[in-house]
Structure 1
Amino acid sequence: MVTIRMARKGAKRRPFYNIVVTEHANPRDGSFIERVGFYNPVATGNEEAVRLDMDRVQHWLDNGAKASESVDRLIRKQAKAAS
């Protein structure tokens, strides 16, 4: 099963997450099929907190991928901001 989820990067106490499409069985920070965006929870000032390639996200969702709860929340937030 293909899933869209976050893979943690960044330093200790400075998390940064890549939003990736991967097989469900792969480890959290393991290999992935495609990177479709990022999430920076500690963004300050003019830094971008979330960036998603909504065309690719929609492509994967249309082809049966399931988004994790956290990523689903970010997708809905991004879609609402684009409207």
Structure 2
Amino acid sequence: MVKIRLSRHGSRKKPFYRIVVTDSRSARNGRFIEKIGFFNPIGYLKNEKFKINFNKVEYWKKIGAKISPRVQYLIKTYQ
């Protein structure tokens, strides 16, 4: 099953998340199919906190990808 979920990057106490399309069997930070955005929870005023390619999200949803609850929340919040 294909999922759209977060992949954690960044250093300790300074998380940075990439929004990726991945196979559900792969590890959280492991192999992915495509990067479609990012989420920076501690972003400053100058930096963007959230960016996603909505066209890619619609494409992958049409194919049958499931969106994780956290990514679904972020899309609703920042849309």
Which category describes the TM-score, using the shorter chain as reference length? over 0.9
**Unaligned segments of structure 1, at least 5 residues:** none
* Structure 2 residue 73 is the aligned partner of structure 1 residue 77: no
Cα distance in 1 between the residues matched to 2:76 and 2:63: 18
Which residue of structure 2 lines up, in the alignment, with residue 45 of structure 1?
45
**Unaligned segments of structure 2, at least 5 residues:** none
Q: CA RMSD in A?
A: 0.8
TM (norm. structure 1) is: 0.91
Query: How many corresponding residue pairs?
Result: 79
Identity fraction in percent: 41
Q: Which runs of 4+ in 1 moved over 6 A?
A: none
Deviation string 1:6-49 (CA, Å, 9 cap, x unpaired) is 00000100000000000000000001000000000001121100
TM (norm. structure 2) is: 0.96
Cα distance in 2 between the residues matched to 1:5 and 1:28: 9
Deviation string 1:23-76 (CA, Å, 9 cap, x unpaired) is 000000001000000000001121100000000011001110001000011122
